[in-house]
Amino acid sequence: MIFRKLHKHVIIQSKIFNFTLELKKGRGWMQLIISSLEKRWVIRGPISFSFLKENDFMKRFDKHFWIRISLINFLIVALMGLLMRYKIGFELHFLNQKYIQHAHSHFAFSAWVSQMLMVLMSAILQRNFGDRKVVPYQFILWANFISAAGMLVSFSVQGYGFVSILFSTVNLFASLAFCILYLKDLHQVSAQNYTSWLRAALIFNLLSALGTFSLVIMEATEHAPQKLYLSSVYWYLHFQYNGWFTFGCIGVFLEYLNRRVPEYRLSRKAFLLFAVSCLPAFGLSELWLHVPAWLYWIIAAAAVLQLVAWILILRSLHYSTFMRLPDAPGLTILLFRYLAVAMTIKLLLQLGSVIPEVSQWAYGYRIIVLAYLHLVLLAVISVFLIAFAYVNFDFHHNRLTKTGILIFISAVFLTEFTLAIQGVGIMYKEAMPWVYEALFVIALGIVAGIVWMVRGQIEHKKGKENLYHLPGLHHEE
């Protein structure tokens, strides 16, 4: 990638993907030229830079605005999932299932989970240093959102192609820019219980990019050996799910506890166990390659260490003020218990996968892998983000929001239960009647739950419910 900046002229060239971006600026106009070996697009029009003035919205970080955007993105992800469920059960010949799947997964990772984590982490800097510190993150969030929207459309239309790879590259660089800039700013935050988790999350996000670079190069060169391709996919997924997502979620939650329950301290042993075991735990996704015996035992030990670390976290929270208050809202307790059970199941399944027979069975049936991925993304990560937004008053506490959350977590449970039954049926070669129709109806429930949550945020009148009566607890605006 070559970057050149001239007077009123910026040129970005890529030798790998054979494209050139030229950005020219004149008095009151801007011209964007996108060139490839075959085509050339020119976009020119009037543009005003008044939105960059000191007192404009780009200079003020509005956490609630970005959280609403992220929630709407989550609704789009759910609608894409519903569309795929409909196509499996009832057929839509004009849609390419693989293209929709690529759009669905890329948008879910970048526009929902990553966007939400970036917003919550940016809010931490805002609380520590004020609005001026988070101005650069506004641009990164917009770049992430726009490129994710571009991936949503381009992957749906063409799958992996020039335009989708272009938007993927922009999205990747937005993510890298966030990680590098945040790591720099995090050094200025006084060492707290949560800073190590956030730092590790960013490092693992950077590591996951190696898998993305590998995939993009293989797609661009049209040379993708199956084992290398699958390993690159699993590398990316592992360090997103078990690194960036998991450590990021725990980090923002610990920062919340640091503000609300100052006396709470999580043992550093839990962090060290999770962090040390994260890299070798990647091997759990590679057991199908028949790894050497010494490496197998390191991988198995990593799975055990992660379960032990999770038990330490659960014990710490169980005995903390946060989970023992008698006046804690019932929905908050329900959400965190739901999350605790889901994460425990995830780690137990992960530990069970070290058994060769279980590993071969899991990777032999696509539905099992699909159920596991949805367990992590929906029942663990998404439920955490929703629970955190609720407990931190980033969501309005009204009837619509509560109803939407209950519908959503119920539908997620039914999804996992149905996928598990389907997997057992496939294992014993038993046909499961109406399973695809049932999954479509359940997917409707997931969409309905998110729609209710979005309506709850549009509803400006707050509900009467308040959070724990802790000293200093208030609704953040």
pLDDT in tens, 438-450: 899 999 999 999 9
Q: State the pLDDT confidence band at 461, using cuts at 50, 70 and 90.
A: very low
CA dihedral 349, 355, 360, 361 (to 10 degrees): -50
DSSP single-letter state for residue 9:
E
CA geometry: angle 137, 141, 143, nearest 5 deg: 115
158-189 pLDDT, tens digit each: 888 888 888 988 999 999 999 999 999 999 88
Alpha helices in 430-469 (DSSP H): 435-458
Nearest to 288 by CA among 345, 247, 231, 240: 231
pLDDT range class, residue 477, cuts 50, 70, 90: very low
Instruction: Give the separation between CA 135 and CA 124, rounded to whole angstroms.
Output: 13
pLDDT at 433: 76
SS3 323: helix
Q: Cα(110)–Cα(112) distance, rounded to whole angstroms?
A: 6
Rounded to an integer, what distance in angstroms lies between the CA atom of residue 454 and that of residue 450? 6
Give me the pLDDT at residue 420, please: 85
Q: What pLDDT was estimated at residue 319?
A: 64
**How much is the pLDDT for 52?**
39
Residues 6 or more apart whose Cβ sits within 8 Å of residue 234? 211, 282, 285, 286
Query: Residue 26: what pLDDT?
Result: 56
Do residues 284 and 350 make contact, with C-beta atoms less than 8 angstroms apart? yes
- Name the average pLDDT for the chain: 81
* Selection from 58, 244, 201 nearest residue 134 by Cα: 58
Which run of H or of E encompasses 25? strand 19-25
pLDDT at 226: 82
pLDDT at residue number 466: 40
Q: CB neighbours of 424 closer than 8 A, spacing ≥ 6?
A: none
Residue 330 is predicted with a pLDDT of 79
Report, as an integer, the average pLDDT of 197-203. Answer: 96
Q: What is the pLDDT of residue 328?
A: 52
pLDDT for 327 beyond 50: no
Tokens representing 9 are: 């002229």
Cα 119 to Cα 73: distance, rounded to the nearest angstrom:
14
Give 92-148 pLDDT, tens digit per residue: 777 788 889 999 999 999 999 999 999 999 999 998 888 888 888 999 999 999 999
Q: Burial-class residue 311 by CB neighbours within 10 Å (0-12, 13-18, 19+).
A: middle
* pLDDT (tens digit per residue) in 362-385: 666 777 888 888 999 999 999 999
Q: Are 181 and 139 in contact (CB under 8 A)?
A: no
Beta-carbon count within 10 A of 189 CB: 17
Amino acid at 403: T
Quick one: pLDDT at residue 411?
Answer: 96
**Residue 217, token pair as written in the block:** 């190069």
pLDDT > 90: percent of the chain? 44
Residue 458, pLDDT above cutoff 60: yes
| HSE of 414, CA atoms in CB hemisphere, 13 A | 17
